[in-house]
Structure 1
Amino acid sequence: MEEIQSQSDHYRSSSSSASSPASRVPAFNFFYLRKPGSLGQPISFEDSPEWEDTDADVRVEEGGGDSINAATTSVSPSLSKLNSGSLPSPHLPEGAAVARKIAGASVAWKDLTVTIEGKRKYSDNVVKGSNGYALPGTMTVIMGPAKSGKSTLLRAIAGRLPPAAKMYGEIFVNGAKMHMPYGSYGFVDLETTLIGSLTVQEYLYYSAVLQLPGFFSQKKSVVEEAIHAMSLGDFANKLIGGHCFMKGLPSGERRRVAIARELVMRPHILFIDEPLYHLDSVSALLMMVTLKKLTSTGCTLIFTLNQSSTEVFGLFDRICLLSNGNTLFFGETLACLQHFSNAGFPCPIMQSPSDHFLRAINTDFDRIIAMCKNWQDDNGDFSAVNMDTAVAICTLEATYKSSADAAAVETMILRLTEKEGPLLKSKGKASNATRIAVLTWRSLLIMSREFKYYWLRLILYMLLTLCIGTIFSGMGHSLSSVVTRVAAIFVFVSFTSLLSIAGVPVLMKEIKIYASEESNQHSGALAFLFGQLLSSIPFLFLISISSSLVFYFLIGLRDEFSLLMYFVLNFFMCLLVNEGLMLAVVSLWKNIFQSVLTLVTIHVVLMLAAGYFRIRSELPRPVWTHPLSYIAFHTYSIQGLLENEYLGVNFAIGQVRSISGFQALHSAYDISPRSNAKWENVLVLFLMAVGYRILVFVLLHFYARKNVSLHRLFRGKHNSTA
């Protein structure tokens, strides 16, 4: 045991001098900004809540043994010299922007347990009796291997658990049991869908207008602060996704844009799920330095992490180590090294602390060692941890529960919750009218910039219409051309509707953007639907009028302006109905392949029931007539176009006898002889368009909000039966 202790002390002394931020002052002390004239004073969070004795040391004695310092300062011990003023404050250039102070908030959780039925095979408890806290101006990291409960614990603290999860325990914000109101906290998910056709500044500005109440002009300063806080000044005017002549933002900058989106609300607490997700070592270090600079403004930062480099590890203030939902340690990062050493697992000198922690508690390493049990490295051992991982986890957990660290955490939670601090208040939301206007304008901008939204569909529609028009051109207006003209109109309506499935990927992207914004209450189903509808109308009308003009004159339909305008209106309503149908299917599946497959099947079935291959009066009644022929929008569109073309027209048979257009169509297609029947068909199409939008609203409001889709349901059933 003395040998273990000596190794641990040797590592602590070497790591403190090698990786302590205090030894790298020229590189990192630039984010500790002091007010002028306060060189000898610690960092002051003037807007933060005042807590009595929160900077005092808490010592817990166990039988006169070693005492542990449960630091409640805003930084780790290795950074104390920077905050005490013993090191010079960096010189700020004249006119440089200084980060605005944020009123931080303390967060404490006690005996927190989260259960999700069916989440794990051996237990429904994803998080088990976790205790911890986070203070203003500090970085608290939740670490652990995959499926250890990191994200679940983060979501539980933030109040973002899924409906299937049940939480037990207590969460305190500034000493009070309360749910964090809108605007008081920000949550950055693991994957945030950004809008590639907007610049960073545009994206953040629209996000600010969607979130904050007040005038549009007041949002610019907030956006500039968020850009400065996340060091995005060099990328402010660059497109997030780029275009054919310019690359988009790298993954590190994209992640910082996602965080900046939450900073426009100036949150007291910021939760981030895996801020280093898919980042290389340089981008990861830059990200953590930026977040460390953010905490210097007073913001309370809590995030999850899988593993980190030694440099990144030195920036953390406190660490919560999880394995299989159990808390193996909570406290300062350097104290975690001592904890592992006390448990018999000292960290080797040349190994990253986070790698050593995860190596000791990750059960996946048992399989690797079993495969490589005959392998040995130059030092003779494959790993520094030479026992079963389950035993190591039990040892670390038992050591922590009986240690002074756990007692110090309980004492600090008691002190943070013994009296209530200032309550967090909601900052207000933008009105629904404002959100609809902003989403409409933003969608118009996106659709006009992105070629694959409607410009590509316009080109495809024009090519298809030219093909159909040239095939059926030169038919004339005789009685013998009626059947061929019916075929041309059927092909035009059916094939153009089928071709619109090319827009599924962009609709899928819109649904993902909505889900990302709705999860943080930046948008709502009603605002999204109105914004998407109003912004798509100009493009759908452009497609309908251009395609209708080409088809109308190539086929040689009746040369009257009113009839042409009805043709355009009918086809526009047909496209509007089809757009609603695609939105409904995409909202159900949330998967491109299943959505395309479903839409193709639906369109083929509706084409068969539209009354062209067999007139509606002769279709089998149980299925094809009722209900398929009545829910097929092709039926009403084709009926209206044929009634528009043939009602009021007579065809001469010989020199004496003539028949009406209705009689000429009697054996080719079912239409109504009433003069206003074509307007009734347009009304039905309009009601179907409204009905599909209502269906999409219901799906988004009650179905998509729970992050459920048919794709996930089928995949879940397959996994459960496997």
Structure 2
Amino acid sequence: MMNTELVGGDSIFSKPQRPLTLKFEDVVYKIEGKAHNSCEKSSTRTILSGVSGVVLPGEMLALLGPSGSGKTTLLTILGGRLNSSGNKSGKGKVTGTIAFNAAPYSSSLSRSIGFVTQDDVLYPHLTVTETLLYTALLQLPDSIPRMDKAMIAESVMTELGLTACRDSIIGNSVKRGVSGGERKRVSIGQELLINPSLLFLDEPTSGLDSTTAGKIVSTLLNLTKGGRTVVMSIHQPSSRMFYMFHKVLLLSDGHPIYFGKGSSAMEYFASVGYAPSVLMNPSDFLLDIANGALFSIIIDVAFKSNSPFYVYLLEILVTFDANVRNVGLSPVEAMCDREEMKAALISAYNTRLKTVVKKELEDVAKQLRETEPHDKREKWCTSWWVQFTVLLERGLKERKHESFSTLKITQVIIASLLSGMLWFQSQGHVQDQVGLIFNLVCLWSFTPIFEALFTFPREREMLTKERDSRMYRLSSYLMARLVGDLPMELILPIASITLAYWMGGLKPTALSYIAFLLITLLSVLVWQGLGLTIGSFIMNIKVATTFTSILMMLFTIIGGFYVQKVPVFLAWVKYISVSFHVFKLMLLTQFTSTDTYECAPGQICSVSNLHQVQVVGFEHKEFSIMVLFAMLVFFRFLTYMGLRRIGVPD
């Protein structure tokens, strides 16, 4: 049987290396929205209003509240990930105090913190074993041998009950893989590999059945027994899960209305006049009062239908329900004044609970005041070379399925065969050969640029997640991506050009063929770099596609085949047009300034007189080569700068 213990003999449920106490006091988060017109000032919206709490090692805190109450925002702030996650609504500002063992968040501290996002961001074509192994190789320090890292991954799989699906791929909406519960456990397992002291989870039970959700929460409860601190946002847990929580923080429109033991929540709300008249799930009851409506379903139906029956039924419920009667609300107030109810709950919290929470914060602060400083560890736990090799290996395994898919291979082969057949043995027909060359220029410009364009928009979530976890440097990721794409990007162009070149009757010498092929491969890499650059700056796929299409149309039209006399104000574009330089170099592999052809029966013309040749010219070949190589480097540098906006900085 596989050893299920971590290096050093500790199970993943045993005590972490350094327990962490999380304290947060008066956390406020505001965002500035856009004004509706020029006369209005920018509006400020408060997402969180003075949220406080403390979670000790061995405790599990659940953040509860209706949708839009600020649970995920608070979790993101506490986990130190707000800046990388970004804010679409405007610029956000966080105030308040957040401390981990009396110290602020730092890059070295991130090694002790795990963060499981709501969406399981995983590579679909990797197996469960491969997913956890590559994460272990990237996140565990170089001092641990690869074999031991593999054993740690095995241990995590065993403890989380993933051994039965160890060789199954993760899958996605297109390709079937593991179940939703197994996928969530894989995401949790990735964070457990670093033996975190503090674990954040954003709605870990979302989309799962109650049994599977209960197993996950039970697993998290077992983690706290070893001294870990667990904080999760959760929408509507079952009653069985609710009583597993040591502490509960209930939010309503960003305001705290309860913080304390989960087992004491119902007693507290009964003491302030809100108690269910029938037995019900505590979390359902808490969500109802956080919404400010204990009878939200009846109220909505009464308003929508305007039926006297539903209004009468509501009056009966209100008459016999103590939670409304105790605070003196009439039936009309119960239907209309939800905001009053929320205000009453906030007032009750400020009066009865805020001082209790503040005292607990002070008591914990006294104990942690003389806490030891954080370890001065290296910024990265693995070397650049290890990161590069692991990312390269992982990337080749993941992307080989799409890069060499049957559909893509068939598409390229058919396009090449059609080009070869349409221009079959066109040797001697110079104008036809020029057309074939430009057709190949277009084929191997549109294909690589649009393949590369979608790379980073599709991988943004994965890159953000892994960079926030400080798994690797951005430079190692980008270099592994570029090197890994080389065989995938160059094999198909080689096959395509070989077919079209010899079928089309281009210059039948080995030197010309090799030169033509090398120029094509250089152009593919340049176009790929341009696609990566656009994709790294414009993450919206529709916008990126539109922009690229317009740019490609301009470069193609001005590339030397269609327009002979370019207007002066656009003449400069040809010098930055990849198509122009590639078309020129390809023509130079086939023709010289002294070549002639039969332009009419009995009439010999110089190739130099062709309008396409006149546009690109036979001179300055070295300049075009230098421009392409400069673009090759420059576009990749721009790509790196564009990606720096994603995740934490290096």
Question: What is the TM-score with the length of structure 1 in the denominator?
Answer: 0.77
Q: Counterparts in 2 of 1:382-401, with a 5 A limit? A: 387=334, 388-401=337-350
How has the CA–CA distance of structure 1 residues 441 and 669 changed in structure 2, closer, same or farther, with 3 Å as cutoff?
A: farther
Question: Is 1:696 the counterpart of 2:639 in the alignment?
Answer: yes
Summarize deviations over 1:195-223 as a string: whole Å, max 9, x none: 01111111121122222321433321332
- Name the residue aligned to 1:588: 537
How has the CA–CA distance of structure 1 residues 487 and 186 changed in structure 2, closer, same or farther, with 3 Å as cutoff?
A: same
Question: Is 1:565 the counterpart of 2:492 in the alignment?
Answer: no
The one-letter amino acid of 1:435's match is Q
CA RMSD of aligned residues (A): 3.2
Summarize deviations over 1:490-523 as a string: whole Å, max 9, x none: 1121134224425655553234322221222223
- Name the residue aligned to 1:421: 371
Summarize deviations over 1:129-176 as a string: whole Å, max 9, x none: 122111112110111112212122222222222273322222222234
- Name the residue aligned to 2:39: none
Choose which of 383, 395, 407 in structure 2 pairs with 1:443. Answer: 395
How has the CA–CA distance of structure 1 residues 238 and 529 changed in structure 2, closer, same or farther, with 3 Å as cutoff?
A: same
Question: Is 1:316 the counterpart of 2:235 in the alignment?
Answer: no
- Name the residue aligned to 1:70: none
- Name the residue aligned to 2:416: 465
How has the CA–CA distance of structure 1 residues 304 and 186 changed in structure 2, closer, same or farther, with 3 Å as cutoff?
A: same
Q: Counterparts in 2 of 1:483-494, with a 5 A limit? A: 483-494=431-442
- TM-superposed CA distance for 1:669, in Å, is 4.8
1:282 partner SS? helix
The one-letter amino acid of 2:440's match is F
Summarize deviations over 1:546-582 as a string: whole Å, max 9, x none: 0110011011111222221122211112211222222
Contact 1:647-1:660 within 8 A present in 2 as well: no
- TM-superposed CA distance for 1:585, in Å, is 2.5
Cα distance in 1 for residues equivalent to 2:522 and 2:407: 20
Question: Is 1:115 the counterpart of 2:25 in the alignment?
Answer: no
The one-letter amino acid of 2:459's match is E
- TM-superposed CA distance for 1:115, in Å, is 2.0
Contact 1:573-1:682 within 8 A present in 2 as well: no
Summarize deviations over 1:577-597 as a string: whole Å, max 9, x none: 222222222223323333333
How has the CA–CA distance of structure 1 residues 229 and 378 changed in structure 2, closer, same or farther, with 3 Å as cutoff?
A: farther
Contact 1:232-1:253 within 8 A present in 2 as well: yes
Choose which of 592, 598, 609 in structure 2 pairs with 1:647. Answer: 592
Cα distance in 2 for residues equivalent to 1:119 and 1:706: 26
The one-letter amino acid of 1:101's match is K
Cα distance in 2 for residues equivalent to 1:189 and 1:426: 27
Summarize deviations over 1:674-710 as a string: whole Å, max 9, x none: 4xx54543432222122211111111113x3499xxx
Cα distance in 1 for residues equivalent to 2:236 and 2:132: 29
Q: Counterparts in 2 of 1:537-576, with a 5 A limit? A: 537-576=486-525
Structure 2: gaps of 5 or more residues = 1-7, 36-41, 325-333
Contact 1:457-1:503 within 8 A present in 2 as well: no
Contact 1:183-1:266 within 8 A present in 2 as well: no
The one-letter amino acid of 2:409's match is L
Cα distance in 1 for residues equivalent to 2:456 and 2:43: 39
- TM-superposed CA distance for 1:178, in Å, is 5.0
1:115 partner SS? strand
Contact 1:361-1:389 within 8 A present in 2 as well: no
Cα distance in 1 for residues equivalent to 2:623 and 2:194: 49
Contact 1:107-1:171 within 8 A present in 2 as well: yes
- Name the residue aligned to 1:622: 569
Summarize deviations over 1:385-424 as a string: whole Å, max 9, x none: 6533222222222222222x44332222112111333444
Question: Is 1:605 the counterpart of 2:557 in the alignment?
Answer: no
Contact 2:438-2:583 within 8 A present in 1 as well: yes
Cα distance in 2 for residues equivalent to 1:174 and 1:304: 22
Question: Is 1:577 the counterpart of 2:526 in the alignment?
Answer: yes
- TM-superposed CA distance for 1:112, in Å, is 1.9
Summarize deviations over 1:440-462 as a string: whole Å, max 9, x none: 221111122x2356664333111
- Name the residue aligned to 1:147: 68
How has the CA–CA distance of structure 1 residues 281 and 142 changed in structure 2, closer, same or farther, with 3 Å as cutoff?
A: same
- Name the residue aligned to 1:7: none
The one-letter amino acid of 1:142's match is L
- Name the residue aligned to 1:159: 80
User: Percent of pairs identical after alignment?
Assistant: 25
Choose which of 78, 99, 103 in structure 2 pairs with 1:172. Answer: 99
Cα distance in 2 for residues equivalent to 1:648 and 1:620: 26
1:183 partner SS? helix
Question: Is 1:204 the counterpart of 2:204 in the alignment?
Answer: no
Choose which of 129, 138, 143 in structure 1 pairs with 2:59. Answer: 138
- Name the residue aligned to 2:358: 410
Question: Is 1:638 the counterpart of 2:583 in the alignment?
Answer: yes
- Name the residue aligned to 2:470: 521
Question: What is the TM-score with the length of structure 2 in the denominator?
Answer: 0.85
The one-letter amino acid of 2:371's match is G
Contact 2:258-2:265 within 8 A present in 1 as well: yes
2:24 partner SS? strand
How has the CA–CA distance of structure 1 residues 219 and 98 changed in structure 2, closer, same or farther, with 3 Å as cutoff?
A: closer
2:575 partner SS? helix
Contact 1:184-1:426 within 8 A present in 2 as well: no
Summarize deviations over 1:518-555 as a string: whole Å, max 9, x none: 22222333222211110001111201210110011011
Q: Counterparts in 2 of 1:356-371, with a 5 A limit? A: 356-362=285-291, 370-371=299-300
Contact 2:57-2:228 within 8 A present in 1 as well: yes
2:47 partner SS? strand
Contact 1:187-1:262 within 8 A present in 2 as well: yes
How has the CA–CA distance of structure 1 residues 547 and 445 changed in structure 2, closer, same or farther, with 3 Å as cutoff?
A: same
Choose which of 255, 275, 281 in structure 1 pairs with 2:184. Answer: 255
- Name the residue aligned to 1:381: 317
Cα distance in 2 for residues equivalent to 1:456 and 1:595: 23
Cα distance in 1 for residues equivalent to 2:163 and 2:11: 11
How has the CA–CA distance of structure 1 residues 98 and 546 changed in structure 2, closer, same or farther, with 3 Å as cutoff?
A: closer
2:615 partner SS? coil
- TM-superposed CA distance for 1:619, in Å, is 0.3
Cα distance in 2 for residues equivalent to 1:545 and 1:230: 47
The one-letter amino acid of 1:238's match is S
Choose which of 665, 675, 686 in structure 1 pairs with 2:629. Answer: 686
Choose which of 127, 130, 135 in structure 1 pairs with 2:48. Answer: 127
Cα distance in 2 for residues equivalent to 1:577 and 1:431: 29
Cα distance in 2 for residues equivalent to 1:400 and 1:523: 44
Question: Is 1:474 the counterpart of 2:425 in the alignment?
Answer: yes
Cα distance in 2 for residues equivalent to 1:210 and 1:192: 19
- Name the residue aligned to 2:151: 221
How has the CA–CA distance of structure 1 residues 229 and 669 changed in structure 2, closer, same or farther, with 3 Å as cutoff?
A: farther
How has the CA–CA distance of structure 1 residues 283 and 605 changed in structure 2, closer, same or farther, with 3 Å as cutoff?
A: farther
Count of aligned residue pairs for this structure pair: 601
Q: Which moved more, 1:516-525 or 1:254-263?
A: 516-525
How has the CA–CA distance of structure 1 residues 706 and 107 changed in structure 2, closer, same or farther, with 3 Å as cutoff?
A: closer
Contact 2:22-2:98 within 8 A present in 1 as well: yes
How has the CA–CA distance of structure 1 residues 570 and 466 changed in structure 2, closer, same or farther, with 3 Å as cutoff?
A: same
